Amino acid sequence: MYDYRYEPHRLIFMIDNKSFYASCECLRLGLNPMTTALAVLSHQPDSDEQSSLIMAASPLAKKKYGLTNVMRARDLPPKSQREDLLLVEPHMNLYIEKSMEVLDIFRKYAAEEDIHTYSIDESMIDMTESWHLFGTDPYLVGRKIQKEIKEKLGLYTTCGIGENPLLAMDIDAKKRWSMIAFWHYIDVPDTIWQIKNLEDVWGINKSTAQRLKKLGINDMNELAHCNPEKLKSEFGIIGEQLFAISWGVDRSIIRYKYKPKRKSFGNSQILMRDYLGQREIEIVIREIAEQVAARIRKHKLLTSCISLHIGFSKLKNNKRNGINASKKITATNDNIALTTELRSLFRKYWNGEAVRTISISYSDLLPDIEQQLDLFSDPAKQIKRKNFDYVIDSLREKYGPTSLVKASSLLPGATAIRRANLVGGHNGGKIYD
């Protein structure tokens, strides 16, 4: 279906830190990540300990106790049956520090523009122009990178190598003792077509997989041999992309970074329990609103469109799944103005449902050159308030996000966000540009 002679033939390394969070915790305790049974639990002070979420588990813990990253503490075996299982709290600052150290090692092997950090524990490196400087065979270069990361940082990594980013998936590498695998175009029938779980493939999420199954497409082999017009009819241009993926075709070049025409800033928060009180929900809304406002101020921008998503608890019999609301506003980056608008949106559409997720984003961004002032408010006060926001931002950037805490941040409703700040992040939270 595709003539691979005309497709890009590059050398891409996809390097993934194995059980990254759990491995960092093992190393912090002076233990071997591969021979220690350890799980990282995220626990909120004002919630039931049994509801703590398993953020990560070491390979041995997964194999021995069947742990997954979606389990709760209540799902763990009784203590008498898991005496060797260590349970620790997360240390996000440690994970970020280790991730940066891994990135520094990558910079020794490729130019900055040829490195794409896919997540905190996974990166793609285009080694096309540089691999030959470090060995006579791509396998040996991959092993050299793995060895350096292991010797300097103690972390184990998998390395998928491919002729494009898609073929560099480390699905096969994870199954090998060497933790290295090399996929070529010619191997597609023996590699990609053999993948039974659609969600294992880069670019196919749960929702897309479900839609494919409704079309009678249950694995990658069936996707590769279906009618491409059927995919295009169902998914549009994404259908063409899905068909290309099934044949191992990916024409993206890492150094050519995608720059979206419309940029937005946002943050989303998964709460550790159902929030029922209006007061505590609005405290979290305010804190997320201020976090995102600080980010657009850092970029000297104003927002003229705000969006609020509220996800309701699936454990309750809610008639609705949540709230999705947007509103055009006078361009601003003022904390009070943005919080007021978002609170108004929430009150307009919320009917007392149990809240589990909150997401806020700012779009339609404009340069913060001359902000329009409200004619019905004191201009001097508005300018003073704006300057105050910038001062607070600089203090928090210098001394940490919790260096200045409002009185309402000590209330139960703010615990999720405050906890996230204290550890440098929050499981389930997503920050995007």
Which tokens in the block code for residue 299? 């970029």
Amino acid at 421: N
Angle formed by the axes of helices 278-298 and 415-423, nearest 10°? 40
Given CA atoms 206, 210, 215, 219 in this order, what sign does their dihedral have? positive
Question: Which one, of 203, 200, 199, 167, lies nearest residue 183 by Cα?
Answer: 167
Q: Find the distance separating the first CA and the last CA of the chain, reported in whole Å.
A: 37
Secondary structure (DSSP) of 60-103: HHHHHH---TT-BGGGSPPGGG-TT-EEE---HHHHHHHHHHHH
Question: Of 366, 367, 324, 328, nearest to 348 (Cα)?
Answer: 324
Residue pair 193/46 in contact (Cβ under 8 Å)? The answer is no
**Angstrom distances, CA of residue 281 to CA of 165, 313, 343:** 41, 13, 10
Q: Torsions phi, psi of 370, nearest 5? A: -130, 100
Report the greatest alpha carbon distance in the chain: 72
Query: Measuring CA to CA, which residue among 190, 164, 381 is closest to residue 253?
Result: 164
Main-chain dihedrals φ then ψ at residue 360, nearest 5 degrees: -135, 140
Catalytic residue among 83, 97, 112, 122: 122
Known catalytic membership, residue 122: yes
| Rounded-to-integer distance, Cα 254 and Cα 149, Å | 22
Cite the active site residues.
122
